[in-house]
Amino acid sequence: MNQGEEIRYSEEHTWVRQEGKRVRLGMTDFAQNELGDIVFVELPETGDALKAGEPFGSVESIKSVTELYSPVSGKVVETNRALLELPGQVNLTPYASWMVVVELADPSELDKLWSKAKYEETFGTEEQ
């Protein structure tokens, strides 16, 4: 799947796809590749509040445990529970394997996110 410019990126390796007043969050291809095989995913519950810049979950790989940081504030309206059973999907399809859907508290936070070109330039990577 070619992601193009509709996806924005945080410097903490979270991708963001806007869907009206909601956003879908996931882990970038670069991040999953750096981590290696993901064996466990911990995600928030529906209804939980997220705050920009703070952790909203974690992923465990064969190499390490890494926190996931939310680039936006808002309320979790959906969690991808399938990842709890099949965490390796993040490695196989990082942009289809979204983690949470968040109802935005402050849409202006999206203005701080990076374009695909800026993310690739900063981390020396080519995203799918």
> Could you give the CA distance from residue 51 to residue 20 in angstroms, rounded to a whole number?
19
* Confidence (pTM): 0.92
CATH code: domain 14-106 is 2.40.50.100
Q: Specify the pLDDT at position 24.
A: 98
Q: Specify the pLDDT at position 128.
A: 65
Spans of all domains in the chain: 14-106
Q: Count CB atoms within 10 A of the CB of residue 1.
A: 8
Q: Specify the pLDDT at position 125.
A: 80
Q: Specify the pLDDT at position 6.
A: 86
- The pLDDT averaged over each successive group of 10 residues in the chain (128 residues) is 69 96 97 96 98 98 96 98 97 97 98 95 83
